[in-house]
Structures are given as structure tokens and as C-alpha cells.
Amino acid sequence: MTVADTTTVAAAAKVPEHFTMTEDEIIAKFPTRLRGFDLYRKMGSPKNIVAPMVDQSELAWRMLSRNYGADLCYTPMFNAKIFLNEQKYRDEQWQTNETDRPVIVQFCANDPDILLKAASLVAGQADAVDLNLGCPQHIARRGHYGSFLMDEWDLVSKLIRKLHENLEIPVTAKIRVFPEVEKTVEYAKMVEAAGAQIITVHGRLREQKGHKTGLADWTKIKAVKDAVKVPVFANGNILYQEDIQRCIDATNVEGVMTAETNLYNPALFSGKILPSWQLAEEYLEICNDVPTKPAYIRAHLFKLFRYSLPIHTDLRQKLVEVKEMDGFWQFVKDMKVRLIADAEGSDFDPEVVVVDEFGYRKYPHWICQPALRFEHDKEHSKSKRLLNEVQADTPADATDCATGGCDAVDNEAKRQKTVVESV
């Protein structure tokens, strides 16, 4: 660690001036507010967790995910300032109902007072409020939030502490890791000391995004779990249902969060191998009852049919142009007819697991399955074993083809597959 890093770590060990109350005083102020493992148990000791995903983990999608084994869902990340000041944004973004529990509402923020006011608006409808400290995107850099607060430990502590001392429901936090495991651990301990009752650790660096996403480091997640006293959720490297238990075994965390794989296969937690049209129909049925923005629906359908759209290209353009529910239903019906015909000519047996030369499961295009990122340079290829091997090196130059749309899946048999999970 550098001198600057050592200074930061040492400063975090002191009791900051913004800690205006002791823990005993906070408990006296909120005697019924749950803490740490009491909160975790009250939420049903969740193991399978849907990540906060901007414009993607909306109510309808959370409901679908719960139908297939999700124990806990996070809302999309909300901008605290906009959420507080704009009623339209709040009405569009924040939806919930009696089936939507347990649920944690996530905010990004850089002003403690604004964060508290925004969080207070959902306090009666959520189990906790989460602070996003992991978003690595350029918009987060411009907005001064997410992972771009990782170097401002005092501000991070102030944000969490403001909620811990003043909000009637618990505060949690989702963080990324530093290159150094020691700094990662001290950062997590600072977040815990400020008042976070659950910590989710995304085992990737801030720089690991886009074409440099790479692998999550489970060793750093385990180091955090070993160092803190609150429940820890792991995020990263989940492709198949068994990866969840593998992650728990490797890190000792209480739960495992997944983002991208849930979007391509919302039945992930159930272990069921299902056709994409079935999940699409179930999602639209929910959307019939839960008003959902067309942009969200379209994005979900593109992901559910990711591997079929490059084959049925005429339907892809129809999906681009659809703007109303009737059009989405017609698209799914048309796609279903095509895919059933494709399936009837196949000898695929869902009970038989077949893998390719790199260890990834081979499913026909009409089956929901994880998104595979392709690496053209085989000198940097990684096997399935290394994917979930926590000490694996991170391929910093891996090509992120999955973000380029459905064209990325063409000719996949000819490409080396390196699989990664996005934010």
C-alpha cells in the first residue's frame, strides 16, 4: 500500500466527527429497527438475490424472478436527488405491491441530507435502503457517485452514517473491491462501522467494466466476510444454479447476488431449463397487471430471446418498433411459433448436460441461458474451471462482445468463450 493508502486506512479507524450518536443511543432511538443478522433472518435468510439493475429490476421483473426462486430483490438504482425533487421520476421508477417483499431500495448519492430525504420517502414500503458504491459507468463519474466515491472514505461514511442515525429502516451498502485485499477489507470495515447492516461485495475493480469486465475475485469477498460481523452477499461469476453454492462454499457469504445472468435466465435460481417464450409470456402476463415502461419490456425481451434473434432477424426489427403491449404480445406469439418449430426438429434433452470444449453448457437457442462473452484471442482464453477459480488471473483485455447486441452470438462455435457478469 502507498503512504496515501496507509493514511486513509488509519483515518478510517478513528471515530469520525460526523458520528453524532453512539450505537447505544441509536438503538434507543430506533428500538425496533433490525440490525445485521436479525435483519437478514427477518427477510427469510435470503440466499438467492436479484441485483439492483438500472431500468431492469423493476417491479414486474422482480415478481417474475420471485416466481423462480429469488429470495430477495433490489430495486433499480435511483438517483437520490432526482427521486427527491421530481414526482414524475419517482412515480415511474418506484413501484411495489404486497407481493414485493423482501425488497431493498437502492440509491446513488453524494449528499447525506438529500440521501436521507429521498430514503425517507420509501421507508414505510421497503425492508432497507442500500447505498450504491459500485457503479463504474461514466455517468457515475460525471454524477460523482457509485464506485467513484471509493477514494472518498469520509464522504462514504457520512452518507451511511446519516441514514444509520436518522432513518427508521436499516441501511445497507454495495461495494466494489480495490486491487489490494488489505485495502478492500479496511474499506468494508469502515462501511460497517458507519452503520451498514449488510454489505454486498462485487468482486471486481472499478476499472473492470465494458470490454475489461473480467472475472470477479472471490478471495477478496471471502476476506471481507472473514473481517466483518454483518451479513455479506457476494456478486460476480454466477452462470448456473450450482455456481451459487460454489460461491457460498468458497466465500462463506450468507447470500449470492446476480445481475446479468438473471436478465438472460430469470429461472436461474430454480435450476429449471425453460424455453425463452415461456418466460416471456409469464413476464408479459405480469406486465398486463403491473404498468411497465415499454422500454423496459423491450430490453427484457431482447435478452430473453438473445440467441434466437440472430436467427429470426425479421422479428428483431419488429421488436425494435413495438411500443404497446399488443405489439409485444404479437411479437412473443410470432417468436413462439418459430421456436416451437425449431424445437420439434431437435433431439435436445434438458435432462442431459452437454458441454463444449471449454466447459460451457450447450443449449439450443430457444432455451434461456447465460450470456457468453467471446474472446477472439485464444492465447488469453479461460476454462470453465478458471472462471470460478477465485485465484484466477483477470483477463484485462477480454473483448466484451455481449454488450454489442445480438450480432455478437453469430458463429459462437468458432470463438473462445470467456464469460463475465456485468454490474
Active-site hit among 73, 135, 247, 368:
135
Cell of 196: 451498514
Establish whether the linkage from the previous residue to 179 is cis, with ω within 30° of 0.
Answer: no
Question: What gap in Å lies between CA 211 and CA 213, rounded to an integer?
Answer: 6
CB-CB neighbours of 244 under 10 Å = 22
* Cβ atoms of residues 234 and 218 within 8 Å: yes
Count CA atoms closer than 13 A to 332's CA, side-chain side. 24
SS3 128: strand
Cell of 7: 493514511
Residue spans of beta strands (DSSP E) within 71-144:
72-79, 103-108, 128-133
108 catalytic? Reply is no
* Length of the chain counted residue by residue: 423
Residue 197 gets which letter from DSSP? Answer: S
Question: What gap in Å lies between CA 197 and CA 177, rounded to an integer?
Answer: 18
Residue 349 CA, chain-centre distance (Å), reads 30
CB-CB neighbours of 98 under 10 Å = 5
Residue 326 CA, chain-centre distance (Å), reads 30
Cell of 150: 471509493
* Cβ atoms of residues 150 and 178 within 8 Å: yes
Residue 94 gets which letter from DSSP? Answer: -
Identify any residues that bridge with 202 across adjacent strands, giving them in sequence order: 176, 235
Cell of 22: 453512539
Q: Hey, which residues are catalytic here?
A: 135
